[in-house]
């Protein structure tokens, strides 16, 4: 509007002569009226209060989001990408114990020393067994433990390993239990493969006996550990197709023992799994297969997850 008045002023004050002056004034008035008429309502760029309008907002879906100046809601994270808090094992701690150590054989003096396992004294650790072709149990247990760790971490769990190929030997069985205890683990698992006679075949899970002797007191963890054992047994068999061991436990794939330091000294639910017999030709073929080890890791991870989520464990049957 200021420009319209200035134009009128120029034509009326800057012109000389009567007729021409009147014509210019008339023209200026017409121009002013036209310009003023356009201010009766806000134009496409200007609001009725004289402020600049942003026009109609467009939502993220390309649709009109409302009147001029309406704010567009901030984008929210996609539900397809869960946050750390929504992962199934968020806040859970899992202790994985890869049985033995790949270089234990170089430290026989250290691993042969006796340590207290609560009920008596036992060797710090052993070298473990191997297949007839020379594939070591310690290599198997570390490989599978790392695979399990990757799966559980993706589900939100904090995973603690007793050793990650980063120690010259051990740790000793008492320290293995202590690592899980100190981590306040919600669950702990020691991963092994057996060295039974060649005709023995299959896997089994070992749960702690309920005992209170010396430094061992498993009374609080015996029942949940047995539930863990049966849950793990179910999922491991489903993932690998490996049968229950045919040489112990009555063919049920489950044992309860009171002579293992890693179980006796645990204060958190814990079991051992013997994933197969390395001396059996059929089992050895599975244990040395990377694809089968991945299935084994999947079964173990699924069993631990089911236990932590409180899924039914199945029949709690076991035999010493």
* More confident position, 190 or 33: 190
* More confident position, 288 or 56: 288
Residues of the chain with pLDDT > 70: what percent?
Answer: 71
Write out pLDDT tens, residues 58-71. 333 333 333 333 33
User: Cα 52 vs. chain centroid, distance in angstroms?
Assistant: 50
Mean pLDDT of 191-199: 98
Mean pLDDT of 181-208: 98
Which region among 20-34, 77-91, 183-197 has the lowest average model confidence (pLDDT)?
20-34
SS3 content of the chain, % helix, strand, coil (to 5): 40, 20, 45
Neighbours of 115 (CB within 10 A): 16
Q: Residue ranges per domain, the chain? A: 1-36, 84-308
Asked if the model's pLDDT at residue 200 lies above 50, the reply is: yes
Structure tokens at 300: 């173990």
Q: What is the CA radius of gyration of the chain?
A: 38
Structure tokens at 40: 């009766």
Q: Contact at 8 Å (CB) between 231 and 307?
A: yes
Residues of the chain with pLDDT > 90: what percent?
Answer: 70
* CATH number belonging to domain 84-308: 3.40.630.40
* More confident position, 317 or 212: 212
CA–CA distance, 117 with 124 (Å, rounded to integer): 9
CA–CA distance, 253 with 247 (Å, rounded to integer): 9
The DSSP element (H or E) to which 214 belongs, if any, is: none
Sole residue written with tokens 């490996």: 242
Write out pLDDT tens, residues 103-131. 999 999 999 999 999 999 999 999 999 99
Nearest to 257 by CA among 119, 100, 111, 141: 119
pTM of this prediction?
0.73
Mean pLDDT of 69-94: 65
Could you confirm whether 274 is annotated as catalytic? yes
Catalytic residue, from 85, 274, 309, 317: name it: 274
CA–CA distance, 206 with 188 (Å, rounded to integer): 12
pLDDT of residue 85: 73
Write out pLDDT tens, residues 21-44. 344 333 333 333 333 333 433 333
For the chain, where are the alpha helices, taking DSSP H only? Answer: 2-13, 18-37, 108-112, 137-154, 173-182, 222-240, 261-264, 281-287, 290-308
For 36, 49, 64, 161, 237, the CA distances from 53, given in Å and listed in that order, are 20, 10, 15, 61, 67
Note the residue count of the chain.
Answer: 320
pLDDT of residue 318: 44
Q: Contact at 8 Å (CB) between 110 and 174?
A: no
| CA distance from start to end of the chain | 99
């Amino acid at each position: 509007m200021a420009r319209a008045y200035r134009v009128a002023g120029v034509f009326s004050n800057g012109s000389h002569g009567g007729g021409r002056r009147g014509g210019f004034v008339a023209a200026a008035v017409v121009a002013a009226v036209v310009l003023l008429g356009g201010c009766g309502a806000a134009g496409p760029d200007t609001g009725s209060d004289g402020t600049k309008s942003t026009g109609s907002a467009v939502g993220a879906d390309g649709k009109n989001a409302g009147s001029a100046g309406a704010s567009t809601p901030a984008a929210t994270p996609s539900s397809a990408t869960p946050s750390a808090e929504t992962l199934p094992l968020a806040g859970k701690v899992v202790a994985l114990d890869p049985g033995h150590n790949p270089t234990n054989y170089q430290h026989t003096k250290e691993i042969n020393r006796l340590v207290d396992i609560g009920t008596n004294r036992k060797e710090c650790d052993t070298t473990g067994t191997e297949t007839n072709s020379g594939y070591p149990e310690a290599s198997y247990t570390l490989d599978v433990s790392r695979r399990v760790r990757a799966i559980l971490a993706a589900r939100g769990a904090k995973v603690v390993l007793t050793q990650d190929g980063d120690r010259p030997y051990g740790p000793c069985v008492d320290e293995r239990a202590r690592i899980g205890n100190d981590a306040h683990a919600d669950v702990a698992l020691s991963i092994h493969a057996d060295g039974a006679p060649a005709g023995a075949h299959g896997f089994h899970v070992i749960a702690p006996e309920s005992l209170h002797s010396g430094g061992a007191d498993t009374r609080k963890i015996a029942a949940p550990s047995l539930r863990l054992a049966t849950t793990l047994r179910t999922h491991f068999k489903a993932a690998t197709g490996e049968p229950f061991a045919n040489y112990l436990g009555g063919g049920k794939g489950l044992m309860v023992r009171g002579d293992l330091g890693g179980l006796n000294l645990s204060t958190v639910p814990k079991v051992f799994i013997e994933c197969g017999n390395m001396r059996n030709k059929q089992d050895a073929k599975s244990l040395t297969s990377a694809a089968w080890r991945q299935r084994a890791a999947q079964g173990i991870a699924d069993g631990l997850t089911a236990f932590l989520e409180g899924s039914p464990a199945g029949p709690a049957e076991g035999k010493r």
